[in-house]
Structure 1
Amino acid sequence: MSNSIDALARANVRALTPYMSARRLGGNGDVWLNANEYPLAVPFELSQQTLNRYPECQPKQVIERYAAYAGVSPEQVLVSRGADEGIELLIRAFCEPGKDAVLFCPPTYGMYSVSAETFGVEYRTVSAREEWQLNLPAIADQLDGVKLVYICSPNNPTGNLLNPEDIRQLLEMTRGKALVVADEAYIDFCPEASLAGWLKDYPHLVVLRTLSKAFALAGLRCGFTLANQDVIALLLKVIAPYPLATPVADVAGQALSDEGLRIMRDHVRVLVATRENLIEQLRNCDGVEAVFPSNANYVLARFTHASTVFKALWDRGIILRDQSKQPGLTNCLRISIGTREECDRVINALKTLSASDAPEQA
């Protein structure tokens, strides 16, 4: 029976390698530093008792509060089930399967390729150049037939910001040809670098945001697409009838209140201080070859023997994210910023790895 069911599936889905999220990879640790989550829960109480009714497609309070926070108009905001849904909505609205393509620049977020494959849309890659910046000449050579260019800043998993002048050049070369989609999932850790203020100058710019990171609401699955009204109108044609459950909209509205924003910014200040402390300590650990600057809530580090370190910490209940299979990231591990105590456990574990944990030299 299973073979006959498989035969009914679309060929591209049968061949698809799914995105391996942190939860899908599993583990039995008590220090979870592999999913770029905020380490502590933020308490919210549900206030809406209307679960017998369908929710608004685009909850007015959530839209208005996020627009005010992002510095755009409510007509430029679409709310969805995480920024991941925004990635997919753009492909559904703008890309013809078998005809159009999307482009992105690895090493970067894995859902761009998975979403494109899911919808039978070609994806093209242009590897980042030194310091993980855009390779503009190579992108220009690949733009024919491309409808969406995904860029990620701060980039996941490297943590770097893209050069704003390079982004402007990219926007100029794609004008009238393709949308540039700036994934700003981590922008709340460096809000001064946001491109949201550029929407007035670039009708083909789209910005993706989320409450999963700095707002400590990964379990809520609430994201935002910021774009000019023509783009939003098209996305509203293909979005699900009720993308946000009533409790999700309820909590999101609270998180975007004045008090919610104050709490988020306080948490960001603490986390950034913890991140810088972790970077300093990692640079003093044996077996750490490089620790890269970060503008997000994680740190990328290159180890002499990353697989050994990954397993040794895994066995100690400290779960990190191995990025070694990403282009240019051999022997790199990504470490989410947890509490100060959790980050100290990482450092202590690295310092106490026994000689037996290191591979024998030939």
Structure 2
Amino acid sequence: MLNFLKKNVAKHVLNLVPYASARRLFAASEQDNNAQTPIWLNANEAPKAHDFTLDTSLYNRYPDCQPDAVITAYAEYAGVAKNQVLVSRGADEGIELLIRAFCNPEQDSILICPPTYGMYAISANTCNVEVKNVPLIHRNEDSENTENRDFGSFQLDVPKIVAQDDSVKLVFICAPNNPTGTLPATADIEAIINHYADQALVVIDEAYIEFADATHTAWLDRYSNVVILRTLSKAFALAGLRCGFTLAHPEVITTLLKVIAPYPLSAPVADVAAQALSIAGLARMRAQVSEIIAEQTPLAQSITQLGDIELVGAQYGNFILFRTSHKDALMQYLVDHKVFIRDQSKQIQLANCLRISTGDAAQNARLLALMTQFYNLQETTAL
């Protein structure tokens, strides 16, 4: 690093490592026209894009900070009041706004439960806010604390979460959790909300909620310290749009408006978001979610018939997490054939784990064919 930069970069930024997003690892724009079309199954994106129309008549003007058409449509879709909704540049900006608005640098902390979404910690680190980690736990399926068999693995460690000191100002709970695809038990989340009622906001990240149908929006009127994050990136097939929502008590929304940029949503983004939230747009979204779920179930079953693959967690999102001792070789084999999935093995409890985003029928068939070829080669080599 240049000497003058080293002297002037903020101390807490100097040693930060950028978030290794799917596009930083493999750029979607870098395609070899002479090669087979790449299949992108590494970022939990929707497999298909859709067409929209744009009204450019006001593009010479700055857009509204919180476009009414978007706020109204999303409030109606989510079943909340308009003053409980804030729209931002993806849910990632919502995470950062919460940390900036409610955490004092070098004084307060956030709490996360790994393995989970990496941007909670990244955003806290960039704001010089401490990150407390309370890893997810595995329960016996017959435990009295388990609501059903689905709540056995990767669950919240409630005793350790509530035992934290009073520096905690935000508790992030990913539901469904990325990358494990599991749902935290409702009673556990509610116990945490009640414990932190006078101390911290409990932020429930529902980025994949359309695939699980287990929203917690009813709690917004019951608990003033509940915040819910949503996005158009997954079920709505608009990852490239960068449009997310924060749902919270009106006073929390008012506080976030103090730290948000003056024009967080560009006019084209607002135009497309409003169309996506129309009656036709919602119907299209629900149809695509049904298609993805219908594809995901047989895909998960099929890959368990290959080699030493073991499913990890659950499949309440649009992705599948699995473990294999051939993790590196399989990953490279797929990359060599222009199929991109995600390595999750650096996360706690996820050694040798890979994550697949569920594609459409053709994409899933190609993936499965390549994985079958790979494991057949492994068996041949072992003979």
TM-score, length-normalised on structure 1? 0.96
Instruction: Output the amino acid matched with 1:74.
Output: K
Structure 1, unaligned stretches of length 5 or more? Answer: none
User: Quick one: structure 1 residues 5 and 360, their matched pair in 2 at CA, closer, same or farther if it must change by over 3 Å?
Assistant: farther
- The question of whether the paired residues in 1 share the 8 Å contact of 2:180 and 2:312 is answered with no
Structure 1 segments of 4+ aligned residues over 6 angstroms from their partners: 358-361
**Identity of paired residues, percent?**
50
Match of 2:68 in 1: 60
Amino acid of the residue matched to residue 266 of structure 2? A
Report Cα offsets for 1:11-68 as digits up to 9, x if no partner: 1111111111000012667011000000111111112421110000000010000000
CA drift at 1:360: 8.1
Partner residue in 1 for 2:149: none
Pairing 1:264–2:285 present: yes
Tell me the equivalent position of 1:4. 4
Aligned to 2:150: none
1:175 maps to which residue? 197
| 1:229 corresponding residue in structure 2 | 250
Q: Which amino acid aligns with 2:159?
A: P
Once the 2 structures are TM-superposed, how far is the Cα of residue 356 of structure 1 from its aligned partner? 6.0
**Which sits farther off after the overlay, 304-313 or 79-88?**
304-313
Distance 1:190 1:143 in 2: 33
In structure 2, C-alpha distance between the alignment counterparts of 1:143 and 1:158, rounded to whole Å: 27
Shift in Å, 1:354: 6.3
CA drift of 1:278 comes to 0.7
Select which of 195, 207, 219 maps to 1:185: 207
C-alpha distance in 1 between matches for 2:234 and 2:175 = 14
CA separation of 1:109 and 1:241: change in aligned 2, threshold 3 A = same
Tell me, yes or no, if the aligned pair for 2:110 and 2:129 is still in contact at 8 Å: yes
Query: By how many angstroms is 1:350 displaced?
Result: 1.3
1:221-275 per-residue CA deviation (whole Å, 9 max, x = no partner) reads 0000000111000000000000000000000000000010000000000010001
Partner residue, 2:145: none
1:327 to 348, 366, 370: 348
State the alpha-carbon separation in 2 of the partners of residues 285 and 84 from structure 1.
Answer: 36
Distance 1:358 1:323, change over 3 A: farther
Name the stretch that deviates more: 152-161 or 287-296: 287-296
Query: CA contact under 8 A between 2:307 and 2:375: conserved in structure 1?
Result: no
In the alignment, is the contact (CA less than 8 A) between 2:182 and 2:314 conserved in 1? Answer: yes
Which residue is equivalent to 2:130? 122
Instruction: Determine the structure 2 residue equivalent to 1:353.
Output: 374
**Cα pair distance change 1:124/1:320, threshold 3 Å:** same
- Residue equivalent to 1:138: 160
Give yes or no for the alignment of 1:299 onto 2:307: no
Which residue type is aligned with residue 126 of structure 2? Answer: T
Partner amino acid, structure 2, of 1:9: V
How far apart in 2 are the matches of 1:325 and 1:112? 16
User: After the TM superposition, which residues 307-322 of structure 1 pair with which residues of structure 2 at under 5 Å, given as runs?
Assistant: 307-322=328-343
Of 218, 221, 225, the residue aligned with 1:204 is: 225
Q: Which of 355, 358, 376 does residue 337 from structure 1 map onto?
A: 358
Cα contact 2:117–2:178 (8 A) shared by 1 = yes
* C-alpha distance in 2 between matches for 1:348 and 1:87: 38
User: Residue 137 and residue 291 in structure 1: after superposition, are their counterparts in 2 closer, same or farther (change >3 A)?
Assistant: closer
> Is the contact made by 1:160 and 1:295 (CA closer than 8 Å) also made in structure 2?
yes
CA–CA distance in structure 2, aligned partners of residues 143 and 185 of structure 1: 28
Is the CA contact 1:79–1:222 (under 8 Å) kept in the aligned structure 2? yes
1:153 has 2:161 as partner: no
Which residue is 1:24 aligned to? 24
For this pair of structures, how many residues does the alignment match? 360
| TM superposition score normalised by structure 2 | 0.91
The answer as to whether partners of 1:48 and 1:250 remain within 8 angstroms in 2 is no
Compare 65-74 and 296-305 and name the one that shifted more: 296-305
* Residue number in structure 2 paired with 1:273: 294
What is the aligned counterpart of 1:69 among 58, 77, 98? 77
2:188 to 156, 166, 171: 166
For the Cα contact (< 8 Å) 1:308–1:358, is it kept in 2? Answer: no
Matched, 1:242 2:250: no
Paired AA for residue 166 in structure 1: D
On the 8 A contact 1:149/1:180 being kept in 2, the answer is yes
* 1:289 Cα offset (Å): 2.5
Q: How many Å separate the matches in 2 of 1:10 and 1:230? A: 32
Amino acid of the residue matched to residue 213 of structure 1? K
What secondary structure sits across from 1:115 in the alignment?
helix
Separation in structure 2 between the aligned mates of residue 291 and residue 112 of structure 1, nearest angstrom: 22
Q: Is the 8 A contact 2:311 2:320 kept in 1?
A: no
| Range with greater deviation from structure 2 (124-133 or 141-150) | 141-150
Shift of residue 334, structure 1, vs aligned partner: 0.4
